[in-house]
């Protein structure tokens, strides 16, 4: 327990994630979201692809945050960087993704610990908001961190079907709750994350 309380958060640059780190994160992802079509090799490749193609400033570069115990990743959060359109307003967001804690380590504050660095970047003004999909079970966790549900319709104008819902979880949230958020359709201008 003491080890976990003092656990160090490592920051990994998603643009140059090593094969070893991608694998270590992928091992946790398959444990948390076991899917036949996404064995560890697929998760590893997807982790390595997460930051590829990003060409913006270093300060906004996509990152992963991890906590390890005995070399094994027990908590992870990543963000992608997107300039999305919300109504008629462009907003640069940290798109939280792959937030998870090892099932045997939940309820110890690790989830909050690995999400906090992303929210800190918003507080520091590096991003306008954090914006992400989620499930009803996890909403209270994010509400406690001062995020709030959003109800804007979401599309990806670059998709084959530009009117289709680009996420897979049913809900979306933004952080912070207390800053004005535009009405209107959200265009992710890229695939769901």
Ligand X SMILES: CC(C)(COP(=O)(O)OP(=O)(O)OC[C@H]1O[C@@H](n2cnc3c(N)ncnc32)[C@H](O)[C@@H]1OP(=O)(O)O)[C@@H](O)C(=O)NCCC(=O)NCCS
Write out the binding residues for ligand X, residues 16-75 only, by CB under 6 A: 32
Q: Does 172 bind ligand X (CB under 6 A)?
A: no
Q: Does 190 bind ligand X (CB under 6 A)?
A: no
Least Å distance, CB 139 to ligand X, is: 9
Relative to beta strand 186-187, strand 154-155 is parallel
Kindly indicate which of the ranges 3-11, 87-95, 117-125, 135-143 contains the residues binding ligand X, using the contact rule CB under 6 A: 135-143
Q: Does 137 bind ligand X (CB under 6 A)?
A: yes
Bond from prior residue into 193 cis (ω within 30 degrees of 0) = no
Least Å distance, CB 149 to ligand X, is: 12
Q: Which of 106, 153, 163, 179 binds ligand X (CB under 6 A)?
A: 106
For the chain, how long is the longest CA-to-CA vector? 50
Q: Does 110 bind ligand X (CB under 6 A)?
A: yes
Alpha-carbon distance of 146 to 7, in angstroms, equals 23
> For 36, what's the count of Cα atoms within 13 Å in the CB-facing half-sphere?
0
Number of residues that bind ligand X (CB under 6 A): 17
Query: Which residues, other chains included, contact 139 with Cβ-Cβ below 8 Å and sequence gap of 6+?
Result: 149, 171, 173
Least Å distance, CB 74 to ligand X, is: 9
Q: Does 141 bind ligand X (CB under 6 A)?
A: yes
- Say whether 25 sits in a helix, a strand or coil: helix
Q: Does 126 bind ligand X (CB under 6 A)?
A: no
DSSP 104-131: GGTTSSHHHHHHHHHHHHHHTTSSSEEE
Q: Which of 109, 117, 176, 190 binds ligand X (CB under 6 A)?
A: 109
Which chain residues interact with ligand X by CB under 6 A?
32, 99-101, 106-112, 134-135, 137-138, 140-141
């Amino acid at each position: 327990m003491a080890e976990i309380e003092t656990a160090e958060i490592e920051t990994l640059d998603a643009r140059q994630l090593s094969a070893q780190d991608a694998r270590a994160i992928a091992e946790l992802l398959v444990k948390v979201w076991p899917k036949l079509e996404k064995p560890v090799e697929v998760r590893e490749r997807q982790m390595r692809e997460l930051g590829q193609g990003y060409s913006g400033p270093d300060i906004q570069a996509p990152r992963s945050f991890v906590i390890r115990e005995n070399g094994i990743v027990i908590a992870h959060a990543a963000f992608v960087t997107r300039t999305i359109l919300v109504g008629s307003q462009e907003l640069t967001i940290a798109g939280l993704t792959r937030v998870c804690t090892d099932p045997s380590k939940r309820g110890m504050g690790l989830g909050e610990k690995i999400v906090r660095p992303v929210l800190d970047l918003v507080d520091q003004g590096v991003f306008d908001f954090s914006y992400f999909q989620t499930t009803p079970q996890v909403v209270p966790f994010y509400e406690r961190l001062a995020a709030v549900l959003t109800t804007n319709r979401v599309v990806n104008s670059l998709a084959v079907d530009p009117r289709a819902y680009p996420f897979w979880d049913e809900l979306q949230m933004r952080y912070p709750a207390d800053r004005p958020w535009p009405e209107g359709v959200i265009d992710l201008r890229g695939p769901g994350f």
